[in-house]
Structure 1
Amino acid sequence: MAMLFRPKSFPRRYKNLAEKIKQDKARLDMICNVYRGIWTGVLHVFVVDESIINEWHLEKEALRPILRGKDIGPFRYKWAGKWVIYTQQKDFEKKFPNVIKYLEQFRVILERRSAV
């Protein structure tokens, strides 16, 4: 594995973390092939920004920050302020009524998509 950083150049408080990363032998590419990230079938429905969150009063507990491919570069990322609606939670409809109202406007689109 190529060394992406030199622990000796890190401040002392980061040295332990750098060593742990260096020693970890299990890498994602060793256990699976990543071809695609999140697949919703209708990304424009499930990925929202602050304007939609505020307009619909979406419950933050139903949202997760998301990085898209264009947000990631070599050795860096820049979060674009996008959130994905995470529906795989217990009692989703009861806990997040505003998210349900938001999704209702896309009912026809959501029903036509392939099973996800």
Structure 2
Amino acid sequence: MGTPLKEWDINIYRGVLTGYNEAFIISTEKRNEILENCQTEDERKRTEELIRPILRGRDIKRYGYDWAGLWLINTHNGVKGVMPRIKIEDYPAVKRHLDQYWDKIKKRADQGDTPYNLRNCAYVDDFNRPKVIYPNMTKYMPFVYDDKGYVTNQKCFIITGTYIAFLTAFLNSSLFKYCFRDSFPELQGGTREMSKIFFDKIPVVKVDNSTEKIFERLIENIQQNYTKEKAISIDQRLFDLYNLTDEERSAIGFVEIR
């Protein structure tokens, strides 16, 4: 029942591939050190905007995440006709940091116009939009709604577009896990591969803007303080949308993958 996700107004993208994480993904301590090395207030402000918090696949939970205090030096390669490439000369403190890894970053295949730049990423601005984040390989099939502009590494996918809060609820639901867990190939140890091609055929009931607003409030509440009871309540709303019988609701129950 519903419309296959490939026909929804959404995009599914992989996270950022740096080519050399040791240089471009840094701790909070290193970020603070780089900011302290900025020579002017203007440089510091621009550098703060450049260095973005990043989530990895292992950080994602059902309706939440455990941020590891890591940051991406987002020296993106720009998007033609949309935004210019980051020029490292405008960020001297960042350049001094990356220069320590010059022998490594200059050799990597995944780079932009200069070794200081990340590879081309036409959807780089989508990380600023409300999105669903989920790991590319996972046993637990967790999804989290993000409207705080986190970047993700290549071990994650993001979904942007319409009705993102509702999709977060659906993908975290017992209904999704009960019906569609086997749509994703199982790897060693019960891990499943969550690539885009396996989402395309999954049908999801279409909703309207008023329903999306309801789920936005529900998602905000459960992500502030996750409880099993809140997750069950969201499940029940989805069961109602799908007009499930008592027998069907009982058969699905509450699915928690452990």
Q: Into which bin does the TM-score normalised by the smaller protein fall?
A: 0.5 to 0.7
The one of 75, 79, 82 equivalent to 2:70 is 82
Q: 1:95 to 1:81 in 2, by over 3 A?
A: same
Q: How many residues of Structure 1 are paired with residues of Structure 2 in the alignment?
A: 89
Q: CA RMSD in A?
A: 2.4
Q: Greater share of strand residues, 1 or 2? A: 2
Q: Structure 1 residue 74: deviation in Å?
A: 2.2
The one of 9, 19, 24 equivalent to 1:41 is 19
- Structure 1 residue 64 and structure 2 residue 52: aligned? yes
TM-score after normalising by structure 1: 0.63
Q: 1:91 to 1:77 in 2, by over 3 A?
A: closer
**1:14-53 paired onto structure 2 within 5 Å:** 25-28=8-11, 32=12, 34=13, 36-53=14-31
Larger Rg: 2
- Counterpart for residue 99 of structure 1: 94
TM-score after normalising by structure 2: 0.31
- Structure 1 residue 114 and structure 2 residue 109: aligned? yes
What is the alpha-carbon distance in structure 2 between the residues aligned to residue 50 and residue 104 of structure 1?
A: 19
What is the alpha-carbon distance in structure 2 between the residues aligned to residue 42 and residue 64 of structure 1?
A: 16
Q: Structure 1 residue 111: deviation in Å?
A: 1.1
The one of 52, 55, 72 equivalent to 2:33 is 55
One-letter amino acid of the structure 2 residue matched with residue 113 of structure 1 = R
Identity, in percent, stands at 33
Q: 1:90 to 1:112 in 2, by over 3 A?
A: closer
What are structure 2's unaligned runs of at least 5 residues? 3-7, 39-46, 77-83, 112-258
**Deviation >2 Å, runs of 4+:** 25-28, 54-59, 88-95
